[in-house]
Amino acid sequence: MDVVTTDIETKAQEKDVPKWEFSCDMEVDYKSEKNAHIIYSALAVDKELQPDKVRRSMSVSNGKLSVRFEATEARFLRASYSAFVDVLTLATKTIEQFGTSMDV
């Protein structure tokens, strides 16, 4: 069965679906699976403020935190990446300062 769409339908579909033209990958080696998971858990609760414009996916493997950003525009990618790095830096400094052996 052939599917035929008109130009108007195609343009309407294109407006509704964001194009993730911009992307950036980051990997931080914590050399510890436990520390990488702590950082992952701390950062995973913060969702993107504009999920229709920016996507972020994270994973942990072999003590490394991997993060991929995708955005519809470069400015959204830059803003999301910059804000994430600020929080990542704070979480990393907290682990360095207090370690993971603290009793809670």
What CA–CA distance (Å, rounded) separates 63 from 33? 4
So where are the chain's domains? 19-98
pLDDT in tens, the chain (104 residues): 333 333 444 444 455 556 889 999 999 999 899 999 999 999 999 888 888 999 999 999 999 999 999 999 999 999 999 999 999 999 999 988 887 554 43
Structure tokens at 58: 């994270």
**Domain 19-98 grouped into CATH 3.30.310.50:** yes
| DSSP label at residue 6 | -
Full-model pTM: 0.75
